Structure 1
């Protein structure tokens, strides 16, 4: 199997075509390959080789990509680290992954006492002959990507090169990517979404990539007008901010063929509002790091069913099962299971958690969903987010969808709060649009009109923002703590 996303293969195919850029630098595929070779030589001088792990703790920039590729050139794996981590958080990842080298921003950045190489000291692209790349097989470890840790200590998800090849090829096929495409990368590169949907899927077909250090609603539209990308991938919060920000603007987004929405559930109203406002198809998808990234996507050329996360991506299968892992009838809710060439190798150093998540080659996602007759997947909720009120099972997503249908609602999250009599009761946190005149009483009245009594929140709090984890998902554990006080 040729791993088509590796820069030495890309240079042979695409040569002087533009590859990646950020606000500081722009390189072709040839230059990218020479840069990777030079940095790999630096890593080799520090003893990095097959089986080692290189930790890369950098904000979004070209050097993060180069360092990851340089590790792969030597047969090593890379673990991208959130640059906003505290020293304790970063050192957990360095230690758990047993990083042999840390690439960071300099002496003040966390290193865990391990050998480091500052980003400003990385070698420049070299024209000299470099050693041949280490041979890589599909089973060789490519990435260790850490979970958000919302249900405990972050776990290292082991992603072999075979997974990366299958995932990037699958996304490129589903999105109909060609060398004429141009991806604007706005999500953090320590997360699977940015790595797979934006970086590797685009580069493997010779498309170009513009890396933004971070998403900014203030400058986003100007960036799109100037760079003229053909697609980008975002999370629901980003689309909500764009819809809100564009109320008084008429940005030119005509270069965009489509955009992708994933990583967290989006309401029908938000997806429709974005398409109505900008005229750009928005493809909602679904996936998790344990299956490398994406497993379902609304098709670009086929029917897009708003409210679903689409059909299984090429090469993958999706099942819905009951608590005994038996298949349930079409339209019946149950746990979502995924299989295919994207299933993780396991959690690093954690066989117990691996055994709980991987069953006969299937990933247990912990999500509740349904499949319709056409194979479109609808996510009902997280199993762990389910609220049991007086013995009645309540899925917060249903309440959130109801509240989202109310004009003026920008974002909403519903969590359970302990109750001495009923066990748990639902509490809603709502972010209104900036110009919306929305009260808690109006929201509750809307819920009473559209929901059975047991599902109506006992309290609604309007807030300016919702807490988010590093990849943009609403931080429900923190909201549960807030609701309990």
Structure 2
């Protein structure tokens, strides 16, 4: 089903059926089509057409979804802008993307001399004009997603309609999503996970979407009980906070078939503890923006703890060593991905693109191995790998040990420069609410669970582990706390 005409087809098949809702409004399929037509006319009247880029700087709300399909109807692309970015960061993204138009919330003070800015109020008040016919071109750019930038200046990941169609169909098959499903969106729509997993995939599958307000662990299950979703997608940080709720919180989760855990590694202990408490499975997956969000997922009927599952239908995985040769089953190497979901490339960065996609394979920079049944387990990022005296150490293994302690909410492990060893292991841990961490007890735990060279030289207790805007652990500030040169 073409994204540019999706609203038309849903309205034709079931005009009164639910499409998308938030805390302020709910749109049927017919109403969604009307809103998409109106928004497309507004964009068209402001000069937007084929190959143009529309920047959308909105919090999670129905209008974000409307603008996606309105832009796609015209053959234009959308670049989502994180509402928490500074003015300088917004200007940089607008310039790099070549955006011709910026749409913001009504109260947003964003202004630029180079790009026309419209507000949601203008979107709602625009008169309905002639309906714009859907633009049909699978190779047209659909999304320009900017990476989180923890490793340098954010790069624009170019995803076309063929990428989104392929990824959504893969998700529909793997997760068995159909018209009876209702997805609860809680992740930010400026990230590819929120758009692809929680908007495009369910709507293409005939399901409906409800958009939650800003995530709050204290009220999250109230939303679940009220909206009765069948699934949602979140990051480990969110599941950690929900798992830490007081024991007297016993919500009705009977509507939920599963929840997806992705964007960052989760410990097996967290997944098991969460499922035992709340009664529905967490299905861990893995992917990158460069692969249109997801490349592996645990089968709903046969999830395997400690892994991120098997490749989505239509995708292939290879594990290779430094020379590019495939390694045996069970041996760690770099994870490579191939399939119709691979990005078109990085906008304006042909050299970066050529280094990342080689002979049709996406070099992820992630380290992992497959078992005999094809399940992928991740050891960590190659850039996160710690080399101590010639020994390779993957932080994920140490973080899982630390996070298994009942007083630890989350952990982050880095390599710190050391004159003798080159690098040493340093661990940061944050406590569960109401708990006190005993660093000596954690050291004793590491002695029992880890080889000597993997054990942290120091364990530092902090109030919270730094996160980037999409909820992934950001180790940059932790590394910055240590000298960049051996002492």
TM-score in same-fold range (> 0.5): yes
User: 2:276 matched to which residue of 1?
Assistant: 276
In 2: Cα distance, 1:147 partner to 1:244 partner = 30
Q: How many Å separate the matches in 1 of 2:436 and 2:214?
A: 31
Which residue of 2 is the match for residue 37 of structure 1?
37
Aligned to 2:371: 372
Go from structure 1 to structure 2 and tell me whether the alpha carbon gap of 1:2 and 1:65 turns closer, same or farther (over 3 Å shift).
Answer: closer
Q: What CA distance in whole angstroms lies between the structure 1 residues aligned with 2:56 and 2:395?
A: 36
1:76 is matched with which residue?
76
Deviation per residue, 1:33-71 (Å, 9 max, x gap): 110111111111111000100000000001111112111
Shift of 1:419: 1.3
CA contact (8 A) 2:37 2:128 kept: no
Contact 1:319 1:337 in 2 (8 A): yes
Helix, strand or coil at the partner of 1:273: helix
C-alpha separation in 2, matches of 1:13 and 1:39: 22
Partner of 2:236: 236
SS at match of 1:232: strand
Alignment match, 2:469: 470
Residue deviations 1:62-84 (CA, integer Å, cap 9, x gap): 11111121111111000001011
1:4-36 CA-to-partner distances (Å, cap 9, x unmatched) read 873222222232101111111110111111101
User: Counterpart of 2:442?
Assistant: 443
On the 8 A contact 1:144/1:157 being kept in 2, the answer is yes
- 1:83-162 matches, cutoff 5 A: 83-106=83-106, 108-113=108-113, 114-123=115-124, 129-134=130-135, 136-162=136-162
Unaligned runs of 5+ in 1: none
Query: Which is worse superposed, 8-17 or 170-179?
Result: 8-17
Shift of 1:424: 1.1
Who is 2:222 aligned against? 222
Structure 1 stretches of 4+ moved >6 Å: 125-128
Given that 1:5 and 1:165 are in contact with CA atoms closer than 8 Å, whether structure 2 keeps it comes out as no
Question: Displacement, 1:129?
Answer: 5.0
Q: What are the Cα deviations for residues 415-452 of structure 1, in whole angstroms up to 9, with x where unaligned?
A: 11111222111111111212334211111111112111
Partner of 2:288: 288
Q: TM-score, normalised by structure 1?
A: 0.97
Mapping of 1:451-462 within 5 angstroms? 451-462=450-461
Residues in 1 aligned to 2:171 and 2:127: alpha-carbon distance in whole angstroms: 32
- What's the CA shift for 1:407? 2.4
CA contact (8 A) 2:290 2:342 kept: yes
Q: Deviations over 1:291-329 (max 9, x none)?
A: 00110000012x211000000001101110111211111
1:349 maps to 348
Indicate conservation of the 8 Å contact 1:36/1:125, yes or no. Answer: no
- Structure-2 separation of matches of 1:116 and 1:8: 28
Tell me the distance in 2 between the aligned counterparts of 1:408 and 1:482: 24
Measured against aligned partners, the alpha-carbon deviations of 1:79-99 in whole angstroms (never above 9, x if no partner) come to 001011001111111010000
| RMSD of equivalent CA atoms | 1.6
Aligned length: 483
Instruction: Give the deviation of 1:126 after TM superposition.
Output: 7.2
- Report the Cα distance in structure 1 between the residues aligned to 2:204 and 2:18, rounded to whole angstroms: 13
Deviation at 1:346, TM superposition (A): 0.1
TM-score in terms of structure 2 length = 0.96
Deviates most, 367-376 or 66-75 = 66-75
Distance 2:352 2:203 in 1: 33
State the distance in 2 between where 1:321 and 1:236 align. Answer: 27
